[in-house]
Amino acid sequence: MSIESNIRTIQKQIEQACERSGRNPSEVTLVAVSKFHPWKAVREAAEAGLQFFGENRVQEAKLKIPQCPSSLHWHLIGHLQSNKCRDAVGLFEMIQSVDSWSLAEQINKAAEKRGSSLPILLEVNVAGEASKFGYSSETLPGDLLKLNDLSRLEIHGLMAIPPWTPQPEKARAHFRNLADLRKKCEDILQAPLPVLSMGMSSDFEVAIEEGSTIIRVGTAIFGERGRFPA
């Protein structure tokens, strides 16, 4: 299957999931996760109409993004090391993977040096997995107000990567918990958090039914990832 036909299939699935849950498809942004795929694949996806792309490593993004059409919007979706904050702030329009207070401080500093500010999402480790980064649902609320005081960061919402499962229904409770946590955070901040980034190739339809506004889809668009970054 071509990248374009994969995208058309996914767009239909997005529409159907929105129909089932009484939502408007314009509320859901498809971010194409291009990690491990070459810039040519990105260009194909862009030619099929996609504008938002996600990468999980700064090093790979730094090589790839300059080769891609300059009109595209790039999100960082993987763990960021503090020594890469400066590069990340220059490359990405949004950092979805802010997973600790110390990282948030470092990104804020890097944005300040650059004279810019940056939309971010706070990553939540919804299943408490040892292998994953992110705030726990318990610790995030306590950090929210001081995160909100970082003048160069704009908190747009929350992001989560539930445990992978071939049965998408198993992810539903995690998506619902993230949506509940968002409400709690909005109460604390007394401000809307419009973005819920949840749902990947295997479970984006369930995520949309639970209120996702950004889905991050790699394999279903580009096929299996190679072993090494392209």
Question: By the criterion CB under 6 A, which residues form the site for ligand PLP?
Answer: 33, 35, 56, 77-78, 161, 200-202, 216-220
| Amino acid, res. 1 | M
Minimum distance from CB of 226 to ligand PLP (Å)?
A: 12
Residue 82: phi and psi, rounded to 5, are -65, -30
**Closest separation in Å from C-beta 145 to ligand PLP:** 26
108 or 125, CB closer to ligand PLP? 125
196 Cβ contact partners less than 8 Å away, ≥ 6 residues apart: 157, 158, 159, 178, 179, 182, 211, 212, 213, 214
d(CA 178, CA 158): 8
Nearest distance in Å: CB 63, ligand PLP: 18
Shortest reach from residue 218's CB to ligand PLP, in Å: 3
**What whole-number distance in Å separates Cα of residue 186 and Cα of residue 230?**
40
Residue 203: phi, psi to the nearest 5?
-140, 20
Closest residue to ligand PLP in the complex (CB): 218
Residue 23 or 216: the one with the smaller Cβ distance to ligand PLP is 216
Q: Which is nearer to ligand PLP, 100 or 152 (CB)?
A: 100
